[in-house]
Amino acid sequence: MINITLPDGTIKQYNKGVTANEIALSISEGLARNVLAAMVNEQTVESSRPIETDAHVRLLTWNDPEGKNVFWHTSAHLMAEAIEQLYPGVKFGIGPCIETGFYYDIDFLDYNISSDDFKRIEDKMAEIVASKQAVVRREVSKQEALDYFTKKGDEYKLELIQDLEDGKITFYDSGTFTDLCRGPHLTSMAPIKAIKLLSLAGAYWRGDEKRKQLTRIYAVTFPKKKELDEYLLLLEEAKKRDHRKIGKELELFTFSQKVGAGLPIWLPKGAALRERLENFLKKVQKTYGYQQVICPHIGNVDLYKTSGHYQKYGQDSFRPISTPQEGEEFFLKPMNCPHHCEIYASKPRSYKDLPLRIAEFGTVYRYEQSGELHGLTRVRGFTQDDAHIFCTSEQLEEEFCKVIDIVLYIFKTLDFKEYIAQVSLRDPNNKEKYIGTDENWQKAENAIMKAAKERNLNTVVEIGEAAFYGPKLDFMVKDAIGRKWQLGTIQVDYNLPERFGLEYIGSDNEKHRPIMIHRAPFGSMERFVAVLIEHTGGNFPLWLTPEQAVILPISEKYHDYAKYVETLLSEKDVRVSIDERGEKTGKKIRDAEMRKVPYMLIVGEKEQNDKTVSVRQHGQIDVGVMSIDDFANFIAEHVQSSLKKD
RNA sequence: GCCGUUGUAGCUCAGUGGUAGAGCACUUCCUUGGUAAGGAAGAGGUCACGAGUUCAACUCUCGUCAACGGCUCCA
């Protein structure tokens, strides 16, 4: 007998060689039906794997992320099997599960697969599922593995096997398909009830652009059709919230081929919205002792040689521009920090000047590969809500914490309820990627970890994700439909002050080197507005929205009254307009709803006589009649309360 | 940058080797209306751009640019 410890701490005795399936069955039949795999001593295994010694066992179902992973991983094999049957001779790369679903990278040789093939493949997959075939794990020797794929002629699998250690190689057989795989897998394809192939993409073999590009097929599967339908609905919802679509509809921004790819043009409504965001942040920063500065959009090449950016990114930047007479070279500013270092260096500094907090909505230009450009989230010209804090090492942690406070306040004000803070550290095995001394890196990394702990942040640590000059803390938010977006960043930097020779005179009358914090709570205005659009679906908070209310006169007879209302409201800073078209009220309401205007003020005979407006709220029905003043006050209070700091 | 797909009116999209169509939006007229589309008429396009094939190209071929889905990258 062996002792099996379950997650709730209970210990049960079973015969040696018991399987997770049997354990589940001993608890309940329902559980047994739903078990997909098991976690045995922190290792996921098949639910059919015999357990030979005392162990901690967690049964994995669809409700566990690990259970989903196994489900999707097996689904990838299912898809491969179907594809192999339909397109004999194709070669397989890798087929892992991903956050939602899975993909398989496949070399289709001469065949040009398209999404028209999806239906066939889905049908074939369903057919295989219906045959209820088992998925069987088998250990093979390295030679056996090599022989199998040599015979099959799959050089990708052979390459994978080369890197594996003999004695640790497993194959999984399912129906006609055998795959090299670490596993674990479902013991049968039967639970895979709903299948959807999603998209095709090219993907380099082993992520190396010099190697062959395979065809990647993304797909997702579920144990219930209903869940697939829900997922497809979520995709639809995401499509509706696409900031590129909404940005166009609400006339916030546009792109022009003539202006150039990746160079967003802010239209009046978008520019006004962005300006409100900037003013909001400026106001917050003022209370935290920041000073605004303005720098030019270009900087001498030497500036970036000093900062180290030239050596690191010079080749991947827009080519320098040069003066016609002297041939002096300038780069379009790719970041603001070197300029800000020069602001620091513009006069001698005393410890009494520190911390010095320099802020700028600085527009920067970076060459992004053409295939990378994407709406407002990935562009070649964008404005950072940037600031650099120069401080002493004693001040570092407190300053860092204050920045965290600003970030969290912004998230709260803009209704991002969930966030994760990612601490990005240097990869200690790859030090040549970074500049600066070990000692400084150590200090910087410690400071970040300490501050994150101090503010009790929900953090994850990523090794090797640091900027080349220092570690950072990045904030990811979850939007209204659960998608994650990276926004603000805070970075500690010991290196730039050194490269720029920045100093201050301490209380000891000696020269010292300040430490720099780079930070951008929004990240960039472009990206932030994009995320805000996707988060709100274009229904911006009242204080931000381009148009807070629209007046809808019932007929032409009330246009004068409508103008009267407009004047009164405008005087009280309500952003309002009149729909004076000769359309019926129903039509005007429909259009205002589509434009996502928060309030519609319907005015006709009654309202004119009583000096009131009939208020309708976006997405709702009639919310009652108010006096003009009451409505103005209502808007003002609403705006104030959403910006209140508590 | 790479692979694949796409590019037709302001927007969403049909369409064909013989020089273009719908709906919405727009303009004008009729209608003066009470909480999600009243009616009619009109205007609007070098069919992304450049070459080539052809008697003839929006359509076929090649190139360029851009967008989209990914890959690689991201100070």
pLDDT tens digits along A299-310:
999 999 999 999
Instruction: Report pLDDT for A104.
Output: 92
Decide which of A61, A82, A108 is a domain's last residue.
Answer: A61
pLDDT tens digits for range A473-495: 999 999 988 889 999 999 999 88
Same domain, residue pair A492 and A578: no
Provide the positions of strand B that have an atom within 7 A of a protein CB: 1-5, 11-12, 26-27, 29-38, 65-75
Half-sphere exposure of A537 (CA within 13 A, CB side): 13
Supply the residues of A annotated as catalytic. 337, 366, 384, 386, 388, 472, 518
- In CATH, what number is assigned to the domain containing residue A132? 3.30.980.10
pLDDT tens digits for range A585-638: 999 999 999 999 999 999 999 999 999 999 999 988 888 999 999 999 999 999
CB < 7 A to strand B: residues 314-343, chain A: 316-317, 334-335, 337
Instruction: Report pLDDT for A645.
Output: 65
Same domain, residue pair A32 and A79: no
Same domain, residue pair A177 and A224: yes
CB < 7 A to strand B: residues 39-78, chain A: none
Q: Mean per-residue pLDDT for A191-207?
A: 86
Decide which of A485, A504, A536 is a domain's last residue.
Answer: A536
Separation CA A437–CA A445 (nearest Å): 12
Across A19-28, A296-305, A574-583, least confident range: A19-28
Q: Report residue A20's pLDDT band, with 50, 70 and 90 as the boundaries.
A: confident
Separation CA A362–CA A390 (nearest Å): 18
CB < 7 A to strand B: residues 13-42, chain A: none
Tokens of A162: 């080369």
> SS3 of A289, please?
coil
- Residue A183 sits in which domain range? 67-238
Q: Where are the beta strands (DSSP E) in A302-355?
A: 321-322, 329-332
Listed residue (A227, A253, A518) closest to A375, CA to CA: A253
Same domain, residue pair A229 and A281: no
Same domain, residue pair A316 and A262: no
> Residue A432 in contact with residue A482, Cβ under 8 Å?
no
pLDDT tens digits for range A321-352: 999 999 999 999 999 999 999 999 999 999 99
How far: A607 CA to B32 C1' (Å)?
17
Is the pLDDT higher at A373 or at A199?
A373
* Residue A612 neighbours by CB distance under 10 Å: 20
Whether the pLDDT of residue A295 is over 90: the answer is yes
CB < 7 A to strand B: residues 293-312, chain A: 309, 312
Whether the pLDDT of residue A209 is over 80: the answer is no
Q: Mean per-residue pLDDT for A1-24?
A: 87
Asked if the Cβ of residue A602 lies within 7 A of any atom of strand B, the reply is yes
Q: Mean per-residue pLDDT for A453-480?
A: 90
Residue keyed to tokens 């976690």: A39
Contacts of A101 (CB under 8 A, 6+ apart): A72, A75, A198, A218, A219, A220, A221
Same domain, residue pair A531 and A517: yes
Same domain, residue pair A401 and A282: yes
Whether the pLDDT of residue A88 is over 90: the answer is no
Instruction: Report pLDDT for A469.
Output: 84
Decide which of A24, A45, A61 is a domain's last residue.
Answer: A61
Same domain, residue pair A54 and A104: no
Whether the pLDDT of residue A431 is over 90: the answer is no
Same domain, residue pair A308 and A207: no
Q: Mean per-residue pLDDT for A107-124?
A: 81
Protein residue with the closest CA to the C1' atom of nucleotide B3: A202
Q: A364: which nucleotide lies closest, measuring CA to C1'?
A: B75
- In CATH, what number is assigned to the domain containing residue A368? 3.30.930.10
Whether the pLDDT of residue A110 is over 80: the answer is no
Q: What letter would DSSP give residue A223? A: S
- Tell me which H or E stretch contains A177: strand A177-180
Instruction: Report pLDDT for A455.
Output: 92
- Tell me which H or E stretch contains A572: none
A153 is a domain residue: yes
Separation CA A636–CA A154 (nearest Å): 68
Whether the pLDDT of residue A252 is over 90: the answer is yes
Asked if the Cβ of residue A432 lies within 7 A of any atom of strand B, the reply is no
Instruction: Report pLDDT for A241.
Output: 93
Separation CA A24–CA A40 (nearest Å): 13
Same domain, residue pair A41 and A187: no
A246 is a domain residue: no
> SS3 of A167, please?
coil
pLDDT tens digits for range A39-73: 888 888 888 888 888 888 898 899 998 999 999 99
> Residue A392 in contact with residue A351, Cβ under 8 Å?
yes
Across A209-218, A299-308, A502-511, A528-537, least confident range: A209-218
Asked if the Cβ of residue A621 lies within 7 A of any atom of strand B, the reply is yes
* Residue A181 neighbours by CB distance under 10 Å: 22
Listed residue (A177, A426, A388) closest to A285, CA to CA: A388
Asked if the Cβ of residue A12 lies within 7 A of any atom of strand B, the reply is no
A544 is a domain residue: no
A12 is a domain residue: yes
Instruction: Report pLDDT for A99.
Output: 85
Backbone angles phi and psi of A417, in degrees to 5: -85, -30
Separation CA A348–CA A335 (nearest Å): 24
Same domain, residue pair A94 and A20: no
Whether the pLDDT of residue A383 is over 90: the answer is yes
Whether the pLDDT of residue A115 is over 90: the answer is no
A247 is a domain residue: no
Residues A266-288 as b or e (16 or more Cβ within 10 Å = b): bbebbebbbebbeebbeebbeeb
Instruction: Report pLDDT for A646.
Output: 59
Whether the pLDDT of residue A312 is over 90: the answer is no
Same domain, residue pair A71 and A85: yes
Instruction: Report pLDDT for A117.
Output: 81
A198 is a domain residue: yes
Query: How many domains does one find in chain A?
Result: 5
